[in-house]
A and B are shown apart, each in its own frame.
Chain A
């Protein structure tokens, strides 16, 4: 992936507000997408996934939206909590491909 150096994009939200984290993916042939959450010094944790035959998928407090026309993926977190503070990144893969990962967005929840 393209390097953005040491500084990740950061999203700061007030506790209780909704968060929207965006991801542009690169391959129009990709048909499976995952959002991961990674806390400092830990391994990535699966949040939610979506396949290309869907536009939207909901989990507990999270929603993933997929726009194949513009190759865009978003993660919405409802009622953001302090425990949601982490780096969030998307992953894409397609037939006979390995996953490609975005660099991530740092979510900071303000009290």
Chain B
């Protein structure tokens, strides 16, 4: 089945710890995105990548980092600099950016211990 796989589904972070969320897609999409979802709010863009080895900051990039070494993979690291990391994180991809529909993964819920 083609799609976007996010792992883990649940993740817990200790104070001062960096954690990495995985996102893999087999849709052969060029563009990939990371969004943060907080209760009652619209999705907010953290980082996006239109092509391998290139990525751009979104609206709320502070405290996060990404890499795009392979077309299929776009991992997100939540660093210790992100003081309020508890949220539902969604990875998405599209064939081209930015005017094509986004396909989403199933999300990772990150909580702070």
Chain A contacts to B: CB under 8 angstroms: 1, 3-8, 32, 34, 36, 41-46, 49, 89, 91, 93, 95-104
Q: B97-111: which residues lie under 8 A (CB-CB) from chain A?
A: 97-99, 101-107, 109
The 4 closest A-B pairs by CB, nearest first: A1-B42, A101-B42, A43-B104, A101-B43
A6 to B40, CA, bound (A): 5
- Label chain B's interface by main secondary structure: loop
List, sorted by A's number, 24 A–B pairs whose CB atoms are closer than 8 Å. Answer: A1-B42, A3-B40, A4-B41, A5-B40, A6-B39, A6-B40, A34-B102, A41-B109, A42-B106, A43-B6, A43-B90, A43-B106, A44-B90, A46-B102, A46-B103, A89-B42, A93-B98, A98-B48, A98-B97, A101-B35, A102-B42, A103-B40, A103-B41, A103-B42
Complex partner residue of B99 from A7, A46, A93, A102, CB under 8 angstroms = A93
- Chain B residue numbers with a CB within 8 Å of A99 are 43, 45, 98, 102
Chain B contacts to A: CB under 8 angstroms: 4, 6, 33, 35, 39-45, 48, 58, 90, 97-99, 101-107, 109
A7 to B40, CA, bound (A): 6
- Chain A residue numbers with a CB within 8 Å of B48 are 98
